[in-house]
Amino acid sequence: MNISEVAKGIYRLSINVENILFEGLWEIPNGVSLNSYIVKGEKTAIIDGVCGWDETPEALFALLDQMDIKVEDIDYLVVNHTEPDHSGWIESFREISSDFEIICSKNAANFLSAFYNHTENVRIVNDGDILDLGNGKQLSFVEIPNLHWPDTMATFDNETGTLMSCDAFGSYGSVSERNYDDLLSEEEISFFLKEAVRYYSNIVAIFSQQVLKALDKCAQLPIKIVAPGHGIVWRKNPNRIIEHYRTLANYQKGPAKKEVTLLFGSMYGMTEAAVEYAKQLLDEKGVTYRAYRLPDTDIGTVLASAWESQGIIVATPTYEFKMFPPVAEAIDELGRKKVANRKAIMFGSYGWSKGAKKELDEMLERYKLNWDLLDFVEFNGSAKAEDLNKIQTAIETLINSLEE
Ligand code: FEO
């Protein structure tokens, strides 16, 4: 838990959570921070109060204690987004104080009613509405739907140029007291940019076209500081994370980095032996690639890599007339997130029946991924010399198709 001053009258309260699955689904090997912001004018507002993942408010209340702020002193709860990592504590808050107002979007009001049966003291705000806290603190609101739920808005402090952006511009990764880009080394910032890829691809990616619209909207604001609900605050170079998000959003339709993601599964090592051959070729050609064995690798990791890669290699045996199930599951997730317009090849072993390619074709069609499936090699049992030659040709074709 830590507290720090973001800018005049704005304080950040953070807790880290680890050893959970984000959204009950995504592995977060480096943890994630949950960030609340207190804004003080004559009145006091809390923006995106956080709770532990178990929705207990004790951590937040302890942070308020450290700031000598009583729950009863908080006048406004600005709910940028109702996902329970940001709102699960409100009911506990309501048990202590009744004299407060919730400020949120229309969609968020509906969700508060649905999730918590909470309908009282709710003020719905729209784009551009202003909440005057007194002492020169005026907060305005920017609706940025689908970043990450349809209710999401960002809160902008006009005095300091601070955009409290909720899930937008967030990343995984636990934080320390030095959770500001102006206090971190370049290596540490790179870590958070990488964690942002994982975070983005896991929970935001499917909404990439709405992200691009939100970015255009945010560009109208004189932003000096980006203060997200997860990850570090960007105070020295807010454009760095904003442009990082623009790049990531554009990857949905490609072109992505000149890199290859090799995802593979193998039952008895025959497909894996061909994968080792492929890796050797990629190494010899100097191609940047990441190889993931399934089901040993979590899907979130595969997704983050594929999101950034122009090239995809699918290596799978045929299993009961279809792809090896963990490989099919990974492809399904790429489909759900619309990882589109990639260059791809496929290879793998079959025993008594083929079928893996047919299933891949069906999935690409179902999700309308428009992959350019450049080549396909399947071999009966173990790969023989002629099969390896075909795999070599397929890989060279893939490499030649990648653009700078
Ligand atoms: Fe941080 Fe969409 O919740």
Q: Ligand 1, closest atom to CA 229?
A: 1
Q: Which residues pair with 104 in a beta bridge?
A: 79, 124
Q: Does residue 229 have its Cβ closer than 6 Å to ligand 1?
A: yes
Same domain, yes or no: 278 and 220: no
Same domain, yes or no: 31 and 6: yes
What CATH number did the domain enclosing 370 receive? Answer: 3.40.50.360
DSSP string, 135-200: TTEEEEEEE-TTSSSTT-EEEEETTTTEEEEETTT---B---S--BTTTS-HHHHHHHHHHHHHHI
Query: Which residue range(s) make up the domain with 196?
Result: 2-250
Q: Ligand 1, closest atom to CA 34?
A: 1
Question: Given this model, what pLDDT does residue 52 score?
Answer: 61
Q: Which of 250, 277, 295 is the last residue of a domain?
A: 250
Question: Given this model, what pLDDT does residue 85 score?
Answer: 87
Same domain, yes or no: 40 and 103: yes
Q: Ligand 1, closest atom to CA 170?
A: 1
Q: Does residue 378 have its Cβ closer than 6 Å to ligand 1?
A: no
Same domain, yes or no: 206 and 276: no
Q: Which of 250, 273, 298 is the last residue of a domain?
A: 250
Q: Ligand 1, closest atom to CA 152?
A: 2
pLDDT by residue for the chain (404 residues), tens only, comes to 788 999 999 999 998 999 899 999 999 999 999 999 999 999 999 999 876 666 567 777 888 888 888 888 999 999 999 998 888 888 888 888 889 999 999 999 999 999 999 999 999 999 999 999 999 999 999 999 999 899 999 999 999 999 999 999 999 999 988 999 999 999 999 999 999 999 999 999 999 999 999 999 999 999 999 999 999 999 999 999 999 999 999 999 888 899 999 999 999 999 999 999 999 999 999 999 999 999 999 999 999 999 999 999 999 999 999 999 999 999 999 999 999 999 999 999 999 999 999 999 999 999 999 999 999 999 999 999 999 999 999 999 999 999 88
Tally of domains within the chain: 2
Same domain, yes or no: 226 and 243: yes
Question: Given this model, what pLDDT does residue 316 score?
Answer: 98
Same domain, yes or no: 216 and 263: no
For residue 320, give the amino acid letter. E
Closest residue CA from atom 3 of ligand 1? 83
Query: Measured in angstroms, how far is the CA atom of residue 20 from the centroid of ligand 1?
Result: 14
Question: Given this model, what pLDDT does residue 357 score?
Answer: 97
Pairing of strands 44-47, 32-40: antiparallel
Question: Given this model, what pLDDT does residue 56 score?
Answer: 65
Same domain, yes or no: 236 and 292: no
Same domain, yes or no: 39 and 111: yes
Question: Given this model, what pLDDT does residue 286 score?
Answer: 97
Helices (H), 251-404: 270-285, 299-308, 325-336, 356-366, 385-401
Q: Which of 220, 250, 280 is the last residue of a domain?
A: 250
Same domain, yes or no: 323 and 367: yes
Buried b (16+ CB within 10 A) or exposed e, 252-277: bebebbebbbbbbbbeeebbbebbeb
For residue 202, report the phi and psi dihedrals to the nearest 5 degrees. Answer: -75, -45
Query: Measured in angstroms, how far is the CA atom of residue 33 from the centroid of ligand 1?
Result: 11
What is the rounded distance in angstroms from the CA atom of residue 215 to the CA atom of residue 219?
Answer: 6
Q: Does residue 83 have its Cβ closer than 6 Å to ligand 1?
A: yes
Same domain, yes or no: 86 and 184: yes
What CATH number did the domain enclosing 138 receive? Answer: 3.60.15.10
Question: Given this model, what pLDDT does residue 98 score?
Answer: 85
Q: Ligand 1, closest atom to CA 203?
A: 2
Q: Does residue 244 have its Cβ closer than 6 Å to ligand 1?
A: no
Same domain, yes or no: 17 and 146: yes
Q: Does residue 85 have its Cβ closer than 6 Å to ligand 1?
A: yes
Q: Does residue 81 have its Cβ closer than 6 Å to ligand 1?
A: yes
Q: Does residue 51 have its Cβ closer than 6 Å to ligand 1?
A: no
Same domain, yes or no: 107 and 172: yes
Residues 6 or more apart whose Cβ sits within 8 Å of residue 91: 116, 118
